[in-house]
């Protein structure tokens, strides 16, 4: 057997009994660890930017929160599309169809460019958008300055995500991790120089942070492409072969799977964006505390998000092999891992809630005391939020391995907006709980979504559901 052949799932059936679950957990951990570390690295770049900006004041943190609201509204559209690369490539890989793997990545890169051009242009209207949404002219102007530098990162970030999904689908996620590990200090140094005018660079504050992020994302994208073209086992897929040839059948399949993912991401992000806008109407302190608490939640979220990508791949491999029992096992093994991690980390956050704001605001001063206190309170309120958020993302990843994305979109609509937003508004303003009420509402919406997704995966796999994957191997 050649080295490249070993990148395909083994043909021999696994040993019976409990060893099946042990083997599945082991394989999921092996695949999820570099993916999760890559996710943590990417959020680390955003977190270090926020920590550097936090030294400029709570108003800057609030403006960064608003800028991220505009950016991620666009980012989630392409993120959902390129997320479809992983299940399509994994199913082709499980079916031993290298051409199908290449086609899945190729249309993911096409989607990145096609969606990226108009959505990048939208970022430069950020100031006007935020003012139309009721934000103060001062905060909107600062956020718009950040977006002038940050808005260009969409296409390279999406292409990198598509490549990362391809690498994971062929059981080789490590290069994306090495790229990210180099990018973290590079982004830190470049952002520090451009924000504060160090290293002979101009002092550009918010604009500098955005420019640094864009430059680093472009370099990450280029390096990932070079690795795919020149290094085994990726080069055998000829990922840039016939790149300019539009592949209609698989592109339509990407849209069928990916657009509902984008929709679910938008609905989820929209709830958090609405929460930020509600916080902005309460006070700048509430908005800054919300952004810091949400950033901490985002750091925790990256590990189960990495596990969810591994779940997509493992479920997709089993689907490609037409192995219904392995499909169910892969999903529930990933759910167990995600839940265990989030329970442990939630306990840590609860114990460290008074210390964590120091990372973003520096030592406590009379001006930041209120933000410190509210951030610690939100972190305590969010304990159930963190656990449910980890479960929902892993369950969603497992369902994507089954190409099941449309029903979860309906679940997202109900959970985030019928339940979640209503609870945020009523508890925050009618029940007069303010920022705490908004976070309780967010928690309720996430819990409902997690329960629905886990139940959906259980019911589908209980009856041995297998999606049609012939379109990938056209």
Map out the domains of the chain as residue ranges.
Answer: 23-462
CA dist 456 and 103 (Å) reads 29
Question: Residue 273: which pLDDT band, with cuts at 50, 70 and 90?
Answer: confident
CA dist 241 and 374 (Å) reads 54
pLDDT of 232 above 60: yes
Mean pLDDT of 213-241: 92
**Residue percentage of the chain with pLDDT more than 90:** 52
pLDDT of 116 above 60: yes
- Pick the more confident residue, 11 or 192: 192
Per the structure block, which two tokens stand in for 419? 């339940």
pLDDT of 421 above 60: yes
- What digits encode the pLDDT tens for the residues 399-413? 999 999 999 999 999
Mean pLDDT of 214-238: 93
Which of 55-69, 169-183, 294-308 shows the lowest per-residue confidence on average (mean pLDDT)?
A: 55-69
pLDDT of 216 above 90: yes
Query: What is the pLDDT at residue 287?
Result: 85
Per the structure block, which two tokens stand in for 353? 């809630």
- Pick the more confident residue, 133 or 318: 318
pLDDT of 7 above 80: no
Query: What is the pLDDT at residue 409?
Result: 96
Residue 81 · residue 255 · CB < 8 Å: yes
- What digits encode the pLDDT tens for the residues 79-92? 999 999 999 999 99
Query: What is the pLDDT at residue 17?
Result: 56
Query: What is the pLDDT at residue 469?
Result: 65
pLDDT of 472 above 90: no
Query: What is the pLDDT at residue 361?
Result: 75
Angle 372-373-374 from CA coordinates, rounded to 5°: 95
Residue 132 · residue 123 · CB < 8 Å: no
pLDDT of 473 above 80: no
CA–CA distances in Å: residue 115 to residues 32, 73, 78, 82, 199: 28, 13, 6, 11, 36
Query: What is the pLDDT at residue 296?
Result: 86
Q: Which residues contact 357 (CB under 8 A, 6 or more apart)?
A: 292, 364, 371, 372, 375, 376
- Pick the more confident residue, 266 or 17: 266
Peptide bond into 131 cis (omega under 30): no
pLDDT of 426 above 90: yes
pLDDT of 309 above 60: yes
Query: What is the pLDDT at residue 431?
Result: 92
17 conformational bin, left if phi > 0, alpha if psi -120 to 50, beta if neither: left
Question: Residue 176: which pLDDT band, with cuts at 50, 70 and 90?
Answer: very high
Query: What is the pLDDT at residue 465?
Result: 86
Question: Residue 280: which pLDDT band, with cuts at 50, 70 and 90?
Answer: confident
Question: Residue 249: which pLDDT band, with cuts at 50, 70 and 90?
Answer: confident
Query: What is the pLDDT at residue 246?
Result: 79
Alpha-carbon Rg for the chain, nearest whole angstrom, is 22
Query: What is the pLDDT at residue 328?
Result: 94
CA dist 213 and 124 (Å) reads 16
Mean pLDDT of 59-63: 81
- What digits encode the pLDDT tens for the residues 357-369? 887 777 777 777 8
The whole-chain average pLDDT of the chain stands at: 87
Mean pLDDT of 176-185: 92
- What digits encode the pLDDT tens for the residues 196-211? 999 889 999 889 999 9
pLDDT of 16 above 50: no
Residue 93 · residue 170 · CB < 8 Å: yes
Mean pLDDT of 38-60: 79
Query: What is the pLDDT at residue 59?
Result: 80
Query: What is the pLDDT at residue 474?
Result: 37
Q: Which residues contact 4 (CB under 8 A, 6 or more apart)?
A: 232, 233, 236
């Amino acid at each position: 057997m050649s080295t490249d052949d070993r990148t395909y799932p083994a043909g021999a059936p696994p040993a019976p009994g409990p060893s099946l679950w042990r083997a599945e957990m082991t394989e999921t951990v092996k695949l999820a660890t570099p993916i999760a570390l890559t996710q943590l690295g990417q959020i680390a770049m955003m977190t270090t930017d926020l920590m550097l900006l936090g030294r400029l004041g709570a108003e800057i943190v609030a403006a960064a929160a608003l800028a991220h609201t505009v950016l991620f509204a666009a980012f989630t559209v392409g993120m959902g599309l390129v997320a479809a690369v992983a299940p399509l490539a994994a199913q082709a890989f499980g079916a031993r169809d290298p051409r199908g793997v290449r086609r899945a990545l190729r249309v993911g890169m096409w989607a990145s460019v096609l969606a990226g051009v108009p959505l990048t242009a939208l970022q430069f209207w950020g100031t006007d958008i935020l003012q139309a949404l009721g934000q103060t002219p001062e905060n909107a102007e600062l956020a718009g300055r950040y977006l002038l530098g940050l808005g260009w990162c969409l296409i390279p970030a999406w292409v990198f995500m598509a490549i990362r999904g391809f690498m994971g689908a062929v059981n080789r996620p490590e290069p994306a991790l090495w790229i990210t590990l180099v990018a973290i200090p590079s982004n830190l140094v470049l952002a520090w120089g451009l924000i504060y005018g160090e290293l002979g660079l101009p002092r550009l504050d918010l604009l500098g942070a955005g420019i640094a992020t864009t430059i680093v994302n472009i370099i990450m994208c280029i390096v990932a492409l070079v690795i795919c073209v020149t290094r085994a086992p990726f080069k055998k897929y000829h990922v840039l072969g016939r790149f300019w040839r539009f592949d209609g059948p698989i592109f339509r399949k990407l849209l069928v799977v990916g657009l509902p993912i984008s929709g679910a991401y938008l609905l989820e992000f929209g709830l958090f964006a609405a929460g930020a806008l509600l916080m902005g109407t309460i006070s700048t302190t509430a908005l800054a505390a919300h952004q810091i608490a949400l950033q901490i939640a985002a750091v925790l979220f990256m590990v189960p998000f990495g596990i969810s990508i591994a779940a997509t791949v493992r479920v997709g491999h089993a689907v490609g092999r037409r192995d219904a029992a392995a499909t169910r096992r892969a999903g529930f093994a990933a759910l167990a891992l995600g839940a265990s991690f989030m329970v442990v980390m939630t306990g840590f956050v609860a114990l460290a809630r008074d210390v964590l704001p120091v990372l973003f605001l520096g030592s406590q001063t009379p001006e930041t005391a209120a933000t410190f206190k509210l951030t610690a309170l939100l972190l305590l309120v969010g304990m159930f939020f963190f656990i449910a958020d980890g479960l929902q993302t892993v369950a969603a990843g497992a369902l994507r391995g089954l190409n099941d994305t449309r029903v979860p979109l309906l679940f997202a609509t109900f959970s985030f907006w019928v339940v979640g937003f209503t609870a945020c508004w009523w508890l925050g303003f009618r029940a007069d709980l303010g920022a705490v009420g908004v976070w309780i509402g967010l928690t309720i919406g996430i819990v409902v979504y997690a329960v629905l997704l886990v139940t959906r995966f259980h019911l589908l796999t209980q009856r041995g559901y297998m999606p049609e994957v012939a379109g990938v191997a056209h």
